[in-house]
Amino acid sequence: MIVEARTPLKTRIISSLAEINAKKATNTWQEQTHWIKITIPEANQSDLYFYMGCNNCGRKAFAEKGDTYTCSHCKDNKAIAIPRVTFTFTAVDTTGTKKFTIFTKQVETLFGLTSSELHSLATSDDASKLDEKLNHIRSIEVFIEVGPSVALNSSRLLSWVIRNISLE
Ligand SMILES: [Zn+2]
């Protein structure tokens, strides 16, 4: 007998992209977050951006992949330059669309690969593996938790960032 060892999902109240797009800075507070169920029908390789970053603090590294260097941000003198990645995409639901950029950890969750693995696929002569991944991502439903960006307080211009990403 197969027993599914799955933890029950938290109950999420799902908002829509139209609701998020209609919010104004004056009626949104910093801690307010919303889960939205989206698809990414146009996920493309060209929307992946790789750069080298510190394995300790994640900030930009002026070093080659795998090199040890002294990080000017966290002062780690044994920092190793590792691939970091951003992914910019248009989220789609039945009510609208919205563009987001996600960073290393969230990209790794979405692709189910580490940044290093993703970097290897993206720079490989064999494009088929990354194509397969992107095809899969175009076909699945993704849950994103969005909240106002930290700029909300200073500029009163409301923009949304992804705080969490989940595939179930
Ligand atoms: Zn660092």
Question: Which residue from 153, 85, 94, 144 is spatially nearest to 120, judged by alpha carbons?
Answer: 85
Alpha carbon distances (Å) from 39 to 55, 114, 121, 124? 31, 21, 23, 27
CA 111–ligand 1 middle distance (angstroms): 25
CA 71–ligand 1 middle distance (angstroms): 5
**CATH fold of 14-166, please?**
OB fold (Dihydrolipoamide Acetyltransferase, E2P) (2.40.50)
Per-position pLDDT tens, the chain of length 168: 445 555 455 678 899 999 999 888 777 777 789 999 999 999 999 999 999 999 999 899 999 999 999 999 999 999 999 999 999 999 999 999 999 999 999 999 999 999 999 999 999 999 899 999 999 999 999 999 999 886 655 566 788 999 999 998
CA 54–ligand 1 middle distance (angstroms): 5
Q: Are 45 and 111 in contact (CB under 8 A)?
A: no
State the pTM of this model. 0.84
Query: Around Cβ 131, how many Cβ atoms within 10 Å?
Result: 12
CA 79–ligand 1 middle distance (angstroms): 6
Continuous segment of H or E residues that includes residue 162: strand 160-166
CA 22–ligand 1 middle distance (angstroms): 38
